[in-house]
Amino acid sequence: MSTIVSGRGFVPTRRTLPFILLALLAGTSLPALAQTTPAGDSTGSAALGNSAASSQEDAQAGDDIIVTATRRNTTIQQTPLAITALTGDTLTDAGVTNIADYAKFVPSLRIQDNGPGSRRVSLRGVQAPGEPTVGTYYDDVPVTGSVGVSSDAAGRTADFSLFDIERIEVLRGPQGTLYGSSSMGGAIRVIFNKPSDEFEGNVEATASDVAGGGLGYFVNGMVNVPVVSDKLAARLVLYQRESDGWIDNRFLGRDDVNDYNATGGRLSLRWSLADSSTIDAVAMYEETDANSYSFNPQLGQYVSAAQVLLPYKDTSQLYSLTGTTDLGGATLTSILAYQQRTSAYAADDSYYIGTFRTPGRCASAVNGSANAACSPTQLNDFYAYLDGLSPAAIYYPGTTKDLTSEVRLSSSGTNVIDWTVGGFFQDRDNRVTSSDARADRATGEIIFPVQLFYRREIVDRLKQFAGFGEATYHPTPTIGLTAGIRYFDYKKSVTGFTDIGWTLIGAPVRSPSTVDTSENGTLLKFNASWEPTSNILLYGSASQGFRPGGANQVIGLPAELTPYQSDKLWNYEIGSKLDLFGRLLTLNLAAYQIDWDNIQVRGRTTNGAFSFLANAGAARVRGAEIEAFIRPARGLLVTVSANHVSAKLTENQVSDVVNGAGRIGDRIPDIPDWSGAISAEYTRPVAQGIDLFARGDVNYVGSFYSEFRPDNIYRVKVDEYALANLRIGAELTDSDTGVYLFVNNLFNAYAINRASNGSTPNSFSATAAAPRTIGINIRRRF
């Protein structure tokens, strides 16, 4: 039996979507077709560095966009893999501020947005709990999510602000040889602007109002300073973001409880040496103070009934040192990085405690047997005890420390054999505490003096070493044959203990115990490419990906279920990259099949109190992707992307401990079959020194399910939705200033992107895109 989460009011679907797209295109393209600016005239928009014209020029250049996905500089249209590159100008034009904003532009990229610091990223339908399935990199530094008590690092991906970005590269498909573990679905690389030898700055401010909610604003600033001419430069980025929220808590009688505040910055230093060497030092810091974005759809749109406020606090720091040396024919790169993340979030435990308010629970807790009924006095005392525990919350403070290092040597220039070799090391330490206590309804904080009902601590340590190499042989200038290999060796150690037990939920005091797991092996990659002409690239590839296994620290879990293994996959892919009709159209296509074995899945103890990871079943994912860039007139760029994914189990998940274990043919949860986006950008001069900028985009996401089995009573079907956004502005090219008005979620669609349900009252939970948001954005460069 499925529960349907449906939108109310007007929600664009596949039937109405074409009409919306036509309306957007008509509104932006008709003026372009009528304009008579000579082809050689400049629009002047490039002065702002954030205009549709600059985005158009990027797309018109096509293979002039340089990416480093293969660890060498290559042009995007001549890189034989499925990759989307979004320039900083494109991101600014679209109003992108975080990872969830740009996902709509990338085929197969899916973001489960549970709020700040709590986003799950997947590519090509490869999504499951455990270690991330998509590697996330800031420059060349991999960042990881917080493991938590359920070993689910993928659910809390770190997310720094996307301001002053050079580009984002999204590599679709396994990147195991060059990027290692946790890139089995692909990799995302955020490349920052580097310090330069000139004084420059950039400031912007945005104010907005969300329907049914409060106000919001953000302020960004950047300044670049040459400290020592041609030797040392510094670049400083600072930002502040605040939102009043739009979710109302019916139980507490409070509106807009999901408020959000983030403050952060980034300092970059570049030291240029005389021998064609550079040293880049980067320090990043972000502090987030927010409240839960979850609500209960059964109560209405954006309505919560949590009995306490659910705060979320997160402080992330990232420090890196990168050295690059041109050796003449090869480039040596060395990266040393350290990440520290301290976070704390809360979950409402009041309703769960309330489920114990039965005569049977009293008999078990007080008299030791469900058959030994409580007397009226015992029952009243037991109920009074439970009532005294509420409101209650479970608190999860934790710290992640991650030291990584990579050294690689890559050939430079064009050679008969292009190659990359290197080594990687990681030492990660996660510590998390789970404490149950009485909470203050108004703040969600623990009530003092502290009365802890229960507390456990888990320490999760991961060490891994890897050596890798990849080489491409060019028997002719138009053919490339690539082979790659990565040897990995990891060890994982998990220690857990419970120093305050709670017999009511079957969680006694437990002494520290440690479980060690380890594995080593190899990952392979093969690729063949052919360029029959300078405007056509054809390729085929087969590549592997994997994630580390680990160990559960769960009370009462049988010994055979304590460790869980890594899961692995093979990806088989063909693709093409085409520049057609004098490059009026750039068309990139890809089709793939993924065979995924030994999938890590979520299990739950028989008392429902604890979750853990196990291995069960296999899946096959088949899909196709399309990206198109259309340039029908000067100043106009139309971008289209679409994706179809069929992600289904090919083996039964035979397990007595996995709730709702899947069967052959079941769809992988939370993955829509169809998704796509279309955007149109247009810029034209309307007066001396003034350009008009307009942009419209629509993002479509198909329906999906929260669980495998159709007969699972807690399975939720989430309906399809489409989100439309509009932006229009004036750009003063003489002063490098722009003023823009925007409307996000134009039709106020009720767009749920995650939903789940359970047996406990008020356990139906969902997160959704923000309602219609209207705002103004002002930018200035100097």
pLDDT band per the 50, 70, 90 thresholds, residue 368:
confident
pLDDT, mean of residues 139-163: 84
Contacts of residue 403, defined as CB under 8 A and 6 or more positions apart, other chains included, come to: 337, 338, 426, 427, 428
Mean residue pLDDT of the chain comes to 88
**pLDDT at residue 178, rounded to an integer:** 94
Query: Minimal CA–CA distance to 514: which of 567, 461, 556, 435?
Result: 461
pLDDT, mean of residues 725-736: 91
- Residue 250, class by beta-carbon neighbours within 10 Å (0-12 exposed, 13-18 middle, 19+ buried)? middle
Contact status, residue 394 vs residue 442, Cβ threshold 8 Å: no
3-state secondary structure of 390: coil
Contact status, residue 741 vs residue 768, Cβ threshold 8 Å: no
Alpha carbon 47 to its chain's center: 32
Of 16-20, 190-194, 254-258, 704-708, which range is least confident?
16-20
Domain presence at residue 775? yes
pLDDT, mean of residues 553-560: 64
**pLDDT at residue 771, rounded to an integer:** 97
**pLDDT at residue 617, rounded to an integer:** 83
How many CB atoms sit inside 10 A of residue 161's CB? Answer: 22
Question: Angle 457-458-463 (CA atoms, 0-180°, nearest 5)?
Answer: 155
Query: Minimal CA–CA distance to 328: which of 267, 276, 262, 259?
Result: 276
CA distances from 54 to 42, 634, 698 (A): 11, 12, 21
Contact status, residue 61 vs residue 68, Cβ threshold 8 Å: no
Domain presence at residue 497? no
Domain presence at residue 509? no
Say whether pLDDT at 38 is over 60. no
Domain presence at residue 177? yes
Strands 248-249 and 303-304 turn out to be parallel
Question: Angle 741-743-745 (CA atoms, 0-180°, nearest 5)?
Answer: 165
**pLDDT at residue 50, rounded to an integer:** 38
Cα–Cα distance measured from residue 252 to residue 453, given in angstroms and rounded to the nearest whole number: 23
Domain presence at residue 140? yes
How many CB atoms sit inside 10 A of residue 532's CB? Answer: 10
Cα–Cα distance measured from residue 429 to residue 399, given in angstroms and rounded to the nearest whole number: 8
Cα–Cα distance measured from residue 490 to residue 487, given in angstroms and rounded to the nearest whole number: 10
Cα–Cα distance measured from residue 278 to residue 272, given in angstroms and rounded to the nearest whole number: 5
Which pair of tokens denotes residue 323?
A: 């050295």
Query: Minimal CA–CA distance to 645: which of 81, 173, 183?
Result: 173
Domain presence at residue 558? no
pLDDT of 571-586, one tens digit each? 999 999 999 998 899 9
Length of the chain: 782
Contact status, residue 133 vs residue 647, Cβ threshold 8 Å: no
Cα–Cα distance measured from residue 397 to residue 292, given in angstroms and rounded to the nearest whole number: 15
pLDDT of 52-62, one tens digit each? 344 444 444 44
Domain count, the chain: 1
Cα–Cα distance measured from residue 535 to residue 528, given in angstroms and rounded to the nearest whole number: 17
DSSP secondary structure, 158-223, as one string: ------SEEEEEEEES--HHHH-TT-SSEEEEEEEPPP-SS-EEEEEEEEEEETTS-EEEEEEEEE
Which pair of tokens denotes residue 333?
A: 């790169």
**pLDDT at residue 558, rounded to an integer:** 67
pLDDT of 73-132, one tens digit each? 889 999 999 999 999 999 999 999 888 888 888 999 999 888 777 888 999 999 988 889
Question: Angle 697-698-701 (CA atoms, 0-180°, nearest 5)?
Answer: 150
Strands 721-732 and 119-123 turn out to be unpaired
Domain presence at residue 503? no
CA distances from 523 to 458, 484, 492, 652 (A): 30, 8, 19, 26
Contacts of residue 267, defined as CB under 8 A and 6 or more positions apart, other chains included, come to: 234, 235, 236, 237, 282, 283
Say whether pLDDT at 590 is over 80. yes
What is the DSSP code (8-state) at residue 359?
H
Cα–Cα distance measured from residue 596 to residue 133, given in angstroms and rounded to the nearest whole number: 12
**pLDDT at residue 58, rounded to an integer:** 45
Of 288-292, 297-301, 505-509, which range is least confident?
505-509
Cα–Cα distance measured from residue 751 to residue 768, given in angstroms and rounded to the nearest whole number: 5
**pLDDT at residue 606, rounded to an integer:** 58
pLDDT of 191-243, one tens digit each? 999 999 999 999 999 999 999 999 999 999 999 999 999 999 999 999 999 99
Cα–Cα distance measured from residue 156 to residue 160, given in angstroms and rounded to the nearest whole number: 12
Cα–Cα distance measured from residue 296 to residue 526, given in angstroms and rounded to the nearest whole number: 47
pLDDT band per the 50, 70, 90 thresholds, residue 19:
very low
Contact status, residue 642 vs residue 626, Cβ threshold 8 Å: yes
Q: Which residue has the higher pLDDT, 381 or 98?
A: 381
Which stretch of DSSP H or E encloses residue 655? none
Say whether pLDDT at 433 is over 90. yes
**pLDDT at residue 152, rounded to an integer:** 80
Q: Which residue has the higher pLDDT, 591 or 371?
A: 591
Contact status, residue 567 vs residue 197, Cβ threshold 8 Å: no
Contacts of residue 779, defined as CB under 8 A and 6 or more positions apart, other chains included, come to: 48, 50, 92, 202, 203, 204, 737, 738, 740
**φ, ψ of residue 654 in degrees (nearest 5):** -75, 105
Say whether pLDDT at 556 is over 70. no
Of 20-34, 451-465, 620-634, which range is least confident?
20-34
Strands 636-649 and 674-687 turn out to be antiparallel
- Percentage of residues in the chain with pLDDT exceeding 90? 69
3-state secondary structure of 733: coil
pLDDT, mean of residues 150-161: 80
Say whether pLDDT at 287 is over 90. yes
Domain presence at residue 508? no
Query: Minimal CA–CA distance to 406: which of 340, 324, 318?
Result: 324
**pLDDT at residue 743, rounded to an integer:** 98
**pLDDT at residue 155, rounded to an integer:** 79
Cα–Cα distance measured from residue 752 to residue 11, given in angstroms and rounded to the nearest whole number: 11
Cα–Cα distance measured from residue 474 to residue 244, given in angstroms and rounded to the nearest whole number: 57
pLDDT of 666-676, one tens digit each? 999 999 999 99
Domain that holds residue 439: 3-454+461-492+515-544+563-781
Contact status, residue 719 vs residue 7, Cβ threshold 8 Å: yes
| CATH number reported for the structural domain that contains residue 597 in this entry | 2.40.170.20
Q: Any bridge partners for residue 546, and if so which?
A: 568
pLDDT of 241-285, one tens digit each? 999 999 999 999 999 999 999 999 999 999 999 778 999 999 999
Say whether pLDDT at 553 is over 80. no
Contact status, residue 95 vs residue 744, Cβ threshold 8 Å: yes
Which pair of tokens denotes residue 606?
A: 């028989």
**pLDDT at residue 6, rounded to an integer:** 55
